[in-house]
Amino acid sequence: MQQYTWFTARWSTWMILAIFSFCVFFYGFTIPVPATSGENVIIEVKQGMTSDQIARMLYNRGLISSPGMFQLVAKWKGLGSSLQAGEYAIQRGTTVTRIVDMMAKGETNYLQLTIPEGYTVNQIAKLIENQHIGSGTKFKELAKQVPSDYDYMNGTSSSVVYAAEGFLFPDTYKLSKGITEEQLIAMLTRQFDEKFTPEMRAQAAAMGLSTREVIILASLVEKEAQVEADRPVIAGVFLNRLKEDMPLQSCATIQYILGYPKEELSVEDTEIASPFNTYLHRGLPPGPIANPGIASIRAVLHPTVTDYLYFVADKQGAHHFSRTYEEHLAEIEKVRN
């Protein structure tokens, strides 16, 4: 009995010492490197980096005292494979546990803004205000101005409210915190100017189209098409109607005038007095009606060659194309039944 008590006491002592040693070890390696100041260190975790590579980068930048402990903490928390790429601002003195959590949650040093294809200036303004990136009102005021670098934004019609409409490229942007509305709109227009490549400009010229005309057409395609494969066919229909000097009769232009996507237009809607009304006026509207994505731009530059002049969408969003007005009326009956 005495031997058992002695063994139990000795075992308990060793356990206490082991736990104490582990705590000292763990504390010693998870406490942050002593901070000489509250400065932030900017690091970039690139796509595909392993936890070992991240740990060594943090160690080399003086943010952790042990690469091994970073990996141990990440594994212990089950986050070793969940560390997200991005730019991080890590304050000197931050614990290893907190750094692992930051990277697992993707708490990057920038704001992310995603502009969907087909958004208008008004929709983008609302988006940046809702995400607390900037003032929607100020953004819209800036969108009325024509930058000196981009003469293709300069339309001739006073009915064009926003010079930048059509030229704010839809994409996902990483924004520095504190970005101004001026910087943001410059970023979006610069992205368009880069994405609309010299090859695209050459193709437009070969087709007898200006940059502005391509984007006007692409904005119509963007708002009309719901199925990817329909884009170049719709673009071809619009180009065919222009060649035949027929009004484009795009429902999307009426919805732009109304300011909302009305599901079914009335005859009265198609008679609204506006330069953007492509039921009343032949040719292109005076400006883009949305900011098209690259797929719609390519559709205009590389349209499907057909002799179609009409199209109508069914309830699933797929378009049915026709050569004559009689065929078109028959297709309308089909999609309604």
Cα–Cα distances (Å) from 157 to 79, 160, 162, in that order, read: 57, 6, 11
Domain ranges for the chain: 31-108, 111-195, 207-336
Residue with tokens 């000097």: 245
CATH superfamily assigned to domain 31-108: Endolytic murein transglycosylase (3.30.1490.480)
Give 233-253 pLDDT, tens digit per residue.
999 999 999 999 999 999 999
Secondary structure, 3-state, 206-266: HCCCCHHHHHHHHHHHHHHCCCHHHHHHHHHHHHHHHHCCCCCCCHHHHHHHHCCCCCCCC
Length of the chain: 337
Give 151-202 pLDDT, tens digit per residue.
898 876 788 999 999 999 999 998 877 889 999 999 999 999 999 999 999 9
Q: Any alpha helices (H) in 108-206, and if so which ranges?
A: 121-130, 136-143, 181-195, 198-206
User: Average pLDDT in the 33-53 region?
Assistant: 78
**pTM of the predicted model as reported, rounded to 2 decimal places:** 0.73
Residue 99 pLDDT exceeds 90 = yes
The pLDDT of residue 85: 85
Q: 43-57, 73-87, 109-123, 228-242: which has the minimum mean pLDDT? A: 73-87
DSSP conformation class of 271: G
* Per-residue pLDDT band at 53 (split at 50, 70, 90): very high
